[in-house]
Amino acid sequence: MERYIFRSIAVLICLIAAAACQKQDLDLYEDSTTGNDIYFLEKFNYAANSNSGDVMDNYRRRYITLGYTPLDVTDTVMAIYVRPTGGKYTTDRTYTVEVADSSTMKEGVHFEFLNKPFKLTANSTRDSILIKFHRSPDFQKDTLMLALHLKANENFGINFPWKRSINGRDSLNIIEYIIDMDDITGEPGIWSDTWFKPYVPFYLGKYSRTKVLLLTQVIGMDPKEFTVLPTTTADKSKLLDKIGTWCKYLYWWLGVEKQNGRNYTDENGDPITFGTLIK
């Protein structure tokens, strides 16, 4: 199961004033000429630090799977940060977030906002949209999508919806935030990826959902390490090194647990095993 945090969508080209194109930091825009605009901070930072179209494509959508989350976890909360251009204000300012009609997640069924109305408090330079996702059975059937759009209101504009990458050839929409979520468990991409496939059996051994869950719980590994794979050879090598370290620790931990009379088996009732390099 190979997913990408932000998957590629069509990029619209937005023509803006030449002077604005030369600005690399939205905070530098003059309030007197542009007013205050608002944007998703995470998307802005991704674009500001990216110099490759392939890298940008990974951030156009965010993928979250609940498939490796313990079954007793029924809800999950995430924060999405927004930031305004310009300086601090001494008064609170509300901002507007709209759920796009294209969203397949339904408010009140699959998610709820925890901090409506949305408000940037006095003297603040950012705020967070808090969303609680409910572990609906619908997520076990298909991947559902939530698309959030920042909208102009009396306090904030959206005059600069795109942020260019370092090389200036690619852009991210920084007033749109798309989340794809499911609760489907399958073999993570780390086992099937062409680059990793020759190495992974020597570390992780055969795929086991229980083994992956233990790695997330005992090691604190983020499931996306196995489902959202790096794009560069250097980053893939770093991940492979981390996998070796994680496996050695989990192998040791299971041994200690066994000495204390606690045995762990996989979902088929077989002992949890690793590759030949893990001893």
- What residue spans define the domains of the chain? 18-182, 189-259
17 SS3 class = coil
Report the pLDDT value the prediction gives residue 253, as an integer from 0 to 100: 96
Distance CA 209, CA 65 (A): 13
Q: What value does the mean pLDDT take over residues 92-115?
A: 97
pLDDT at 1: 44
Distances (CA, A) of 278 to 218, 245, 246, 259: 17, 9, 10, 19
Pairwise CA distance, residues 244 & 27, whole Å: 42
Of 102, 83, 80, 78, whose CA–CA distance to 93 is shortest? 83
Query: Among 12-16, 40-44, 215-219, where is mean pLDDT lowest?
Result: 12-16
pLDDT digits (tens, 9 = 90+) for 164-205: 888 777 889 999 999 999 988 778 888 988 999 999 999 999
* Percent residues over pLDDT 70 in the chain: 85
Q: How confident is the model at residue 221 (pLDDT cuts 50, 70, 90)?
A: confident
**pLDDT above 60: residue 207:** yes
CATH architecture entry for 18-182: Sandwich (2.60)
pLDDT score recorded for residue 20: 37
- Whether residue 65 has pLDDT greater than 50: yes
Q: Is the pLDDT of residue 33 over 50?
A: no
Q: What is the mean pLDDT of residues 59-81?
A: 86
Instruction: Determine the average pLDDT of the residues in 233-260.
Output: 94
What kind and span of H or E run contains 254? helix 233-259
Which range is least confidently modeled, 11-15, 157-161, 209-213?
A: 11-15
Host H or E run for residue 96: strand 96-99
Q: Residue 55: phi, psi to the nearest 5?
A: -65, -40
Per-residue pLDDT band for 55 (boundaries 50, 70, 90) equals low
- What pLDDT sits at residue 52? 65
Residue 140's φ and ψ, nearest 5 degrees, are: -80, -15
The model's confidence at residue 32, banded by pLDDT at 50, 70 and 90, is very low
Name the more confident of 40 and 190.
40
Instruction: Read off the pLDDT band of 35 (50, 70, 90).
Output: low
Taking all residues of the chain, what is their mean pLDDT, rounded to a whole number? 84
Q: Is the peptide bond before 137 cis (omega within 30 degrees of 0)?
A: no
Structure confidence by residue, pLDDT tens digits, 136-168: 999 989 999 999 999 999 999 999 999 988 877
